Chain A
Amino acid sequence: MRREPPKTFGDYAPLLFPAGMLTIFFVVPFGTMIAVSFFQRQQGGFYTPAFVFDNYARFLSAFFGGVLGFSLMLAIAVAVCCVVLALPFTYLLTRMARSVQVLWLVALLSVLSLSEVIIGFAWSTLFSRTAGITNVLVALGIMSEAKALTPSFAAVLTGMVYQAFPYTVLVLFPALVRLDPTLTEAARTLGASPLKAFFTVVVPALRNTITATLIMVFIFALGSYLLPQLLGRPQHWTLSVLITDQAIYQSNMPFAAAMAVFLVLVTLGLVALTVVAGRRGEAA
């Protein structure tokens, strides 16, 4: 059966439901947030409808610039780590027996069922001085005394990579499964080592998938606000942590909204840049 392109209004009807949902649960709240970001903050009270730029002006400072820069850097680091780890892993996984694949995928899916709170507490215990993994190293004679690995940047990064890793594998998996195995076989018969075949054939063939995965993990990591608090020092707090502070603890909705709008704009800008750069690379 050949699929016809939709012609009449009726053909588009199934789209109405997702479009409606998107409007109600995304467009309207986002519009409200943009509106609130221009409202006037009443210190020691609430806010009044207005059209002022104060909230954006307050954000434009070296301090918040630094926090924003750190948040972006952290999200990029998480995305790169995830893809670097997940790509070879998923590639090897697709070459395994069906039953092994199912086992791994179920295990990864079960990680997704863990909440951010549980992941944060588990890692802070694993990284602690009193009950953490350094005690095992001491018992093995590798370290002389147990020490705390948290709070630190490495702890935050580990926690966030752990959290995003299953998503990364699940996004890469379909593309790698569909990858024509004759490509690598051809490379091998032409004398390439498995490693060389992976880097010269598999990775370039998947360039678009890899870019898309990087963007997805980047955006996923940008919204993280619990793990940086649980595993990091204050200098490792992301912009999302400060947004939460303003919204929940300071009841300063206009400023929180302005920061959130700014974060969304910067994110969209970076994603657009990546896509454009990707197209250029393809054309060249």
Chain B
Amino acid sequence: MKINSIKRRTLLGAGLAGAAALAMPAVLRAQDRSLKVGVYGGYFKDSFDKNIFPDFTKATGIAIESVAEPTGEAWLVQLEQAARAGQAPADVSMMSQVAMLKGQSTELWTPIDMARIKNSSYLLDRFINKYPDGRVAGVGAVSWYITLVTNTNVYKEPPTSWEAFWDPANADKLGLLALVSNSFLLEVTAKTFMGGTDALDTEEGILKAFDKLAEVKPNVRLWYRDEAQFEQALKSGEIPMGQYYHDVTGLAAAEGHPVRSTFPKEGGIQDSGCWALSRASQKVEEAHIFIDYMCQPAIQATLSRKVGTSPTVKRESTDLTDQEFAAVSSDIEPIIPRYDLYQTKSDWLNQKWTELIVG
């Protein structure tokens, strides 16, 4: 089982890694140009250490000290508390979209000067995270898809639509993510049955989506927080359908497991991480050089090939072949999560969601 490949989004041991990172003394000498970069621990950090950071140091002379960060919001809390004490456990960190918005509320992120990010012209607009007043809080680092996955032994034909989750024939066969803010099933429901995620603009719309989503419950065998649990069950056919990460499913299929990832006709869920600079960091100059470097189409293509992430730059700008692009992405318009809701209505959504699945 490739435990390694899934660690970046799991939490086991991640808190420890974060604590260790905080406790670690600055080992680099002041006269060297250096930058501490936080990336999700495990597979992501290993891949970056191997495929990306050495070339960056060669090209710019800036040494990278990579810091394993936990996913979820634990790292955000640590960055915020450290920043209050004037410390930056990492200068630049890869942050989820919800964490970006929460950090904005306390001005945690130093605004990025886009004039100094020459390669930003290649970026897709949706990967630039902005403060309400237009300052840039974060720049797209990587993106990934959550798609409809199936066990090929159980489902000879791939499903074509998210509607498969609602099909009574799939009773007790699904594995879905357990949290409202990481499963993005409200968005899926809105896109599939309500004409788009705009339907979630009002509370009535959200409640309607919840009602529709309640119909899925009898089909769900597992609401998972731990990815390894679902991945194992999917491979064995124990739980033959569900939502899962496109990249990891592709890796499992390449290893010969009977699994497939399908982009439904309504689109896969595209989630992403931003590079963001802590306000406590003194390395503003180095951070801009780093972010600019990471926005190069060639680097984004390398990430797609080596890490399995989807590019945050326009596809035409990269030299990815059709096959390489299909392995990490799709031309079907993706479902973009309504991150704003998880900031403005987070407690209400969480309460409704918990009552829905637990009640």
Contact = CB atoms under 8 A, between A and B. Distances in A.
12 contacts: A43-B343, A45-B106, A46-B80, A128-B238, A148-B238, A229-B178, A229-B225, A233-B223, A234-B223, A242-B354, A242-B358, A249-B179
Given A44-B101, A130-B237, 15 more contacts: A43-B346, A44-B343, A46-B77, A46-B102, A46-B106, A63-B354, A121-B229, A124-B229, A128-B236, A151-B221, A234-B223, A248-B11, A250-B181, A250-B350, A251-B102
B354 A42 contact: no
A245 B354 contact: yes
Given A46-B77, A148-B238, A251-B76, A229 B226 contact: yes
A272 B343 CA distance: 42
B346 A250 contact: yes
Given A235-B358, A249-B72, A251-B73, A130 B347 contact: no
B214 interface: no
Contacts of B178: 229, 234
A245 B106 contact: no
Interface in B261-277: none
Contacts of B101: 44
A249 B236 contact: no
A117 B102 CA distance: 31
B222 interface: yes
Contacts of B124: none
A259 B64 CA distance: 42
A-B complex: 5 closest residue pairs judged by Cβ atoms: A44-B343, A45-B105, A251-B73, A234-B357, A234-B358
Interface of B: 11-12, 72-74, 76-77, 80, 101-102, 105-106, 178-179, 181-182, 221-223, 225-226, 229, 232-233, 236-238, 343-344, 346-347, 350, 354-355, 357-359
Contacts of B237: 130
A149 to B, nearest CB: 12
Interface in A37-57: 41-46
A131 interface: yes
Contacts of B182: 249
Nearest to B345: A43
A44 B344 contact: yes
A230 interface: yes
Contacts of B102: 44-46, 251
Interface string A122-145: 001000111100000000000000
B358 A237 contact: yes
Contacts of A124: 229
B349 to A, nearest CB: 10
B228 to A, nearest CB: 8
B358 A249 contact: no
Contacts of A250: 73, 181, 346-347, 350
A252 interface: yes
Contacts of B229: 121, 124, 230
